[in-house]
Chains A and B, each alone.
Chain A
Amino acid sequence: MSEEQTKNLEDQFEARIARDEKIEPKDWMPEKYRQTHIRQMSQHAHSEIVGMLPEGNWITRAPSLRRKVALLAKVQDEAGHGLYLYSATETLGISREEMYEQLHTGKAKYSSIFNYPTITWADMGAIGWLVDGAAIINQVPLCNTSYGPYARAMIRVCKEESFHQRQGYEIMMKLANGTTEQREMAQDALNRWWWPSLMMLGPTDAESVHTEQSMKWKLKRKSNDDLRQQFIDQTVPQADLIGLTIPDPDLKWNEERGSYDFGEIDWDEFWQVVKGHGPMNKERMKARVGAWERGEWVRDAAMAHAEKKQEQKEKQAV
């Protein structure tokens, strides 16, 4: 294809997206569009899968059957979300094995929030309330993104996420209204998860390298800073309501802006965790890779069984 033809195709492609048309797997697309989507969608899938680990940690120790079934269902949902997203990413021509390989070798990233430890039961509350809350803010705009399979997967994901956030908030509410120890446990969880949750909305606009192109492709509809402000404005009153304190001395309602002003985020910490030096990076990958390797004989046995059955069926047919 000549350069001019490619340019022509690219212009037509951008025009389609500008008209809000969806792009489907077999449609022509610029290589950069394909690669950007593979990167973002697979990272998103990896985050769902790794995200099961910090919560899975508490399933056996949930304080009641009601909490246990809810947490189990939530973790199962994360597995489901990972699977929707992996299969949507496969439509772009990358195999599941390649994606796993990228995750396991550290070539692909996942959300840094999962590199923090879950040390008390209140962390299950804080994760559902804050982490899923921030995830929803990130994800809702993606239901309208330009790549059809991604948008469809996100619609399913968003429908299911709201239960996650509510179950988390309910846990926090219960603890916040409980004994002194329980209240302190809830406050401690909020203290530890607040800042990492704000970081989930991504680097500041000035630092964000992907924003402009991603806006054009509708992979992003609002900037990181706008999303972060939205998250803070919606979450602060929820903390007030259950009598917990946001761990930010600079947090203050700004009448003029109709929004909360907030303190400086420790971006050094953010980049440290992204680069693999968070408290749980090694542990998470060890658990993930270990699970994959220990499952290998099961996957192989299932395949061998399927092949044997197929052969028997063919023999009988003769």
Chain B
Amino acid sequence: MSDKKNWPLWEIFVRSKNGLEHRHCGSLHASDSEMALENARDVYTRRNEGVSIWVVESKNITASNPEHNGELFEPAQDKVYRHPTFYDLPDEVKHM
């Protein structure tokens, strides 16, 4: 085994066509961002799956912890007044 450093891991995001958002599609190893882009092209867009690629080194992503899902996401659950159906309107108002 080499004592040199291994290639870091990169997360790959691909925009499938203009008008749509970039979407996470997987990850790969590359020595730098340029190589990550080139490899992403070969690994994730061999069949016209993309018009734009973002690469982000995985260590730079901060992710929420699923164990904290309660405190993070439950407060939204009892706020029904944020949805249009919470409000009673007369039937005569057809579209609002």
Residues of chain A touching chain B, judged by Cβ–Cβ distance below 8 Å, are: 24, 26-28, 73, 76-77, 80, 83-84, 87-88, 90, 95-97, 101, 152-153, 156, 160, 296, 299-300, 302-307, 309-310
CA distance A250 to B29 in the complex (A): 50
Of B3-11, B70-78, B79-87, B88-96, the one contacting chain A is B3-11
Interface string of B17-59 (1 = CB under 8 A from A): 0000000011111011001000000110011000000000000
CA distance A90 to B26 in the complex (A): 11
Contact B66 A27 (CB under 8 A): yes
Contact B63 A302 (CB under 8 A): no
Contact B66 A303 (CB under 8 A): no
CB distance from A34 to the nearest CB of B (A): 15
CA distance A151 to B90 in the complex (A): 47
Residues of chain B touching chain A, judged by Cβ–Cβ distance below 8 Å, are: 1-2, 4-7, 9, 25-29, 31-32, 35, 42-43, 46-47, 63, 65-67
A26-B65, A305-B31 given; 7 more Cβ-contact pairs under 8 Å: A76-B46, A84-B26, A84-B43, A87-B27, A96-B6, A300-B4, A303-B31
CA distance A101 to B25 in the complex (A): 26
CA distance A88 to B46 in the complex (A): 19
CB distance from B5 to the nearest CB of A (A): 5
Provided the pairs A24-B66, A28-B66, A306-B31 are in contact, do residues A299 and B26 lie with their beta carbons within 8 angstroms? Answer: no
Provided the pairs A302-B31, A303-B31 are in contact, do residues A160 and B26 lie with their beta carbons within 8 angstroms? Answer: no
Q: List 7 A-B contacts (CB under 8 A).
A: A76-B46, A300-B2, A300-B4, A302-B7, A303-B4, A303-B5, A303-B6
Contact A310 B43 (CB under 8 A): no
CA distance A299 to B6 in the complex (A): 8
Chain A positions within 8 Å of B27 at CB level? 87, 90
Interface hub of B25, B26, B66 (most chain A Cβ within 10 A): B26
Chain B positions within 8 Å of A26 at CB level? 63, 65-66
Contact B32 A87 (CB under 8 A): no
CA distance A82 to B52 in the complex (A): 23
Contact A153 B2 (CB under 8 A): no
CB distance from A241 to the nearest CB of B (A): 28
Contact A77 B46 (CB under 8 A): yes
Residue of A nearest to B35 (CB): A302
CA distance A304 to B6 in the complex (A): 11
Interface hub of B1, B27, B46, B65 (most chain A Cβ within 10 A): B27
* Partner among A28, A88, A95, A309 whose Cβ is within 8 Å of the Cβ of B26: A88
Contact A80 B42 (CB under 8 A): yes
CB distance from B48 to the nearest CB of A (A): 13
CA distance A298 to B34 in the complex (A): 16
CA distance A307 to B5 in the complex (A): 10
Contact A80 B7 (CB under 8 A): no
CA distance A90 to B42 in the complex (A): 20
Provided the pairs A303-B7, A305-B31 are in contact, do residues A296 and B26 lie with their beta carbons within 8 angstroms? Answer: no
CA distance A307 to B2 in the complex (A): 16
CB distance from A52 to the nearest CB of B (A): 14
Chain A positions within 8 Å of B6 at CB level? 95-97, 303
Interface hub of B28, B29, B35, B65 (most chain A Cβ within 10 A): B29
Provided the pairs A26-B66, A304-B4 are in contact, do residues A87 and B46 lie with their beta carbons within 8 angstroms? Answer: no
* Partner among A27, A28, A90 whose Cβ is within 8 Å of the Cβ of B9: A90
CA distance A88 to B9 in the complex (A): 12
Contact A83 B28 (CB under 8 A): yes
